[in-house]
Amino acid sequence: MPYYSSNAIEGRLLKPKIAFRKKKRLIRLSSQRLEVFENNSKEEPISVYDVMGWDVSFSEHLLTIKLSADGKLVMTLQASTYNEYNLWLGRLFKACGARDLEYFYELKEILGEGAFAIVKLAIERGTEEQCAVKVIDKNKAEKLNSKESLNRELDIMIKLCSIPRPRGGRPIPIIEMREIYDLSDRVYIVMEYMQGGTLEDAMMRMALRTERQVRTTMSEIVAAVEKLHSMKIVHRDLKLKNILCTNANFPLEVKIADFGLSNYVRDGSVALKSHVGSPHYVAPEVLKKDCKYGPEVDLWSCGVVLHLMFTGKLQNCFLLWLFCRFLVSFFLVRICSETQLDGLNVDAPGRYPFDGGTIKEILECVARGDFKMDSPAWKLVSEEGKEFLRKLLTVDIRQRMTASDALNHCWMTSDRLTRRP
């Protein structure tokens, strides 16, 4: 898979042998597969080619593109307009592998880093559109015995590209992958750029001040998880850093990203066995010696994310906390038009529901599954919200909600939220 694109293009282009008859053929290009049709793409193609490794030459004056294999001309295509010519020339260059990614994209600053990959901001040449490019070092991945997981990540992202994207309305809350360049020593994954950064970044900039804001954000996360599970995909590393925001202000419109630890679970069976995940977010069943688990682990991680959104302990600047506590005590006013969250409350030493001074202590806390809801922030959370959280952070997977259960829970569907005085 040297090159993959999530979007196929097709159009009626002239071929030289029939150009004098003014007859056009329908040409369709999907990744490296070029198909020629008599009339429309619903019919069987007249010819099918794998263009990887072909040579591309062109004439801007004539709007023609020549494709050659092993030094022999295979076909010449002629566009009707300059824009059509530019579109096909760019896509054919990519499909034929004639250029490196940096011929089409200008790589900018680093957005994030991992063990064997970095994510960079990129600008598409010609359109000036911003996107994110994940650059994976194959040699580092192989040294870390991650080659199999890398191939699986690429396979999963290609499958996610098959999800129909609605035109207008609410987008699917899963990051959109556009292209993959699979080279000998590295892989480039071109994705949509999420200007709001991670959900962690967003919560550092501003607390989700109302429970309804938290609910809106959580509903998008759970909807994405439900979609993954319907495709037999378990994410296994849901956390604030892997949830991206389309913008910096509310509504955030979040999307799930980073499928590096994701895997398939067949027929809904409990079949996964690897001890993977992030310590604060990992589910108790993953920690067992002879662990076998399934999609339920993602719902536990959703519970940890929700806990963080409820308590708002990401805004843990001590001076800011003192200042805001002073303002609250001075004015003694709370706006109660919606259920308010004390996003600046940092009276507990740790920000996570399951925390500790070492990884061992954190995992022991996770295994017990005990968490508290006794800080002042919880007085501002509805009973429905607390029950929803408990049903996510339950150790017994038989009692834990599925993604579908969560979307249909009264906390998600009710117009009114109740609070104890």
Please, which residues have CB within 8 angstroms of residue 82's CB and are 6 or more apart in sequence? 63
3-state helix, strand, coil in the chain (%, to 5): 35, 25, 40
Q: How far is it, in rounded angstroms, from Cα 295 to Cα 271?
A: 10
Q: How far is it, in rounded angstroms, from Cα 416 to Cα 410?
A: 9
Q: Which helix (H) or strand (E) element contains residue 218?
A: helix 211-230
Q: Which helix (H) or strand (E) element contains residue 95?
A: helix 82-96
396 catalytic residue (yes or no): no
| Catalytic residue selected from 137, 237, 298, 342 | 237
- Residue 230's CB is within 10 A of a number of other CB atoms, namely 12
Q: How far is it, in rounded angstroms, from Cα 75 to Cα 244?
A: 44
**Which tokens hold the place of 204?**
């550092």
391 is in an annotated binding site: no
The dihedrals phi and psi of 77, each to the nearest 5 degrees, come to -115, 140
- For residue 241, give the nearest of 209, 290, 202, 272 by alpha carbon: 202
Catalytic residue list:
237
Question: Binding site for ATP, residues?
Answer: 134
Question: Binding site, residues?
Answer: 134
